[in-house]
Amino acid sequence: MMTVIATYSSLGLAAKIAKVLADDVVLIEEKVFPDGERYVRVPQRLSGDIVLVHSTHPPQDSRIIELLLTIDALKGAGAERLIVVVPYLAYARQDKRFMEGEPISIGVLLRSIEVAGADVFVTVDIHRPGSLDEWLRIPHLNVLPVAQLAEYFRDRLREPLVLAPDKGALHRARIAAQILGADYDYLEKRRDRITGEVKVLPKSLNVKERDVLIIDDIVSTGGTLARAAESIVAVGGSRVYAACTHALLVSGALDRVYQAGIEEIVATDTVPSPVSRVSVAEPVARALMELLSQ
Ligand code: R5P
């Protein structure tokens, strides 16, 4: 028996995870002081295994502070084993010093979560899974919801080709292609590290009379997806679909991807969004049950 703790950042997903686990949900009290500092409070005494579900999508910095404060509050309220589930983990893309003088942001974040009091850490489709091994000493797990995203498209695509927008994302395309009985490939992407501008290099692909499904971890501005879709249309592709785990959808991203010719984009509910049609509640709940039975 566990108790699932929800914050407002992930209330819907926490409730779904609790339903799968047949456990109770306790909602954290939250407020902001007039000077902008945040306050959280656990409304009851706790014991045993406690599962906190809290995503760190924008505004990520205040959600990160809430996460760290809530971890400390839960330990103080009696949590014996605290399993911290962060469905979307912010700052994961800054996983090395790309340029001299930069921080390794993901390292700072993961070490802070451990120091605050997490006993077990679970996340969903972290940008580079190796980051967890590099920075955490506590048990940890990365849940990959590619099968659930691929299932959404089962029987909806005509002779599908699954594409990763860059080589680093190829593992997602491979898994989705296996499930859909499709071919898979990747595009060559270049991002300007100063301006953030994305270019997708031309590639010859056999896309005539076929539907293309682009699969990625994050859609933020939608620039990557839009450039990828344009490169497919340029070689004769007609119907392009997209799936992603974390739909941050900032700066008019949805308009950008639809204008680039994407028919439909589907995401999971790690970040609540208008296209979050696939839930990670089942795979996360299964991972928790497995972890806790060890
Ligand atoms: C980058 O490596 C990620 O996997 C995503 O492709 C990227 O973060 C998407 O960002 P945007 O939507 O702003 O192009």
pLDDT band at residue 197 under the 50/70/90 scheme: confident
3-state DSSP of the chain: CEEEEECHHHHHHHHHHHHHHCCEEEECEEEECCCCCEEEECCCCCCCEEEEECCCCCCHHHHHHHHHHHHHHHHHCCCCEEEEEECCCCCCCCCCCCCCCCCCHHHHHHHHHHHHCCCEEEEECCCCCHHHHHHCCCCEEEECCHHHHHHHHCCCCCCCEEEECCHHHHHHHHHHHHHHCCEEEECCEEECCCCCCEEECCCCCCCCCCEEEEEEEEECCCHHHHHHHHHHHHCCCCEEEEEEEEECCCCCHHHHHHHCCEEEEEEECCCCCCCEEECCHHHHHHHHHHHHHC
The pLDDT of 110-133, averaged and rounded, is: 97
pLDDT at 161 over 80: yes
What residues does ligand 1 touch, defined as CB less than 6 Å away? 93, 165, 169, 198, 216-224
Of 84, 112, 143, which residue sits at a domain end? 143
Q: Are residues 103 and 158 in the same domain?
A: no
Residues 83 and 153 in one domain: no
Same domain for 134 and 172, yes or no, is: no
The residue from 16, 19, 96, 189 that is catalytic is 189
Q: What is the CATH number of the domain that holds 243?
A: 3.40.50.2020
Is residue 189 flagged as an active site residue? yes
Instruction: Give yes or no for residue 294 having a pLDDT over 80.
Output: no
Q: Quick one: 20 and 131 in the same domain?
A: yes
Closest residue CA from atom 10 of ligand 1: 220
On whether both 152 and 105 belong to a single domain, the answer is no
Q: Could you list the residue range(s) of the whole structural domain that residue 111 is in? A: 2-143
pLDDT at 216: 97
Asked if residue 289 belongs to a domain, the reply is no
Q: Is 290 a member of any domain?
A: no
> What pLDDT was estimated at residue 284?
98
